[in-house]
Amino acid sequence: DAKTTQPPSMDCAEGRAANLPCNHSTISGNEYVYWYRQIHSQGPQYIIHGLKNNETNEMASLIITEDRKSSTLILPHATLRDTAVYYCIVPRPENYGQNFVFGPGTRLSVLP
């Protein structure tokens, strides 16, 4: 996998935007960026993914830099339920199983 680097932890005030950065400087041209989150005692939850264009869905927005070496996941109005570990993953497209390599992620704490 393209190595990803994320800050170990972040705090965000409830109702404010949470911006979670991820560096993936060795990403290849055909590799996607995926974001997952894991709330305590639950399985990882898919959030969003993208290749080069910015993406938005009902959960979040994904901003990918033009050189694709970094991205930011944006939760526009964080709630207490968004407290979780957030994982940025770049799977290897040539990997037959497309197995995702989860790093330590960013532990986001949304504070009241």
Q: Which residues bind another protein (CB under 8 A)?
A: 34, 42-46, 49, 85, 87, 93, 95-105
The nearer residue to another protein, 8 or 112, going by C-beta atoms, is 8
Secondary structure class of 98 (helix, strand, coil) = coil
Residue by residue, DSSP assigns 24-36 as -TT--TT--EEEE
> Are the C-beta atoms of residues 9 and 109 closer than 8 Å to each other?
yes
The residues that bridge with 16 in the sheet, in sequence order, are none
| Nearest approach, Cβ of residue 13 and another protein (Å) | 26
| Nearest approach, Cβ of residue 69 and another protein (Å) | 22
> Are the C-beta atoms of residues 3 and 99 closer than 8 Å to each other?
no
The nearer residue to another protein, 79 or 95, going by C-beta atoms, is 95
74: nearest Cα among 96, 50, 95: 50
The nearer residue to another protein, 14 or 109, going by C-beta atoms, is 109
| Nearest approach, Cβ of residue 39 and another protein (Å) | 11
| Residue bearing tokens 């109702």 | 15
| Nearest approach, Cβ of residue 22 and another protein (Å) | 14
The nearer residue to another protein, 21 or 100, going by C-beta atoms, is 100
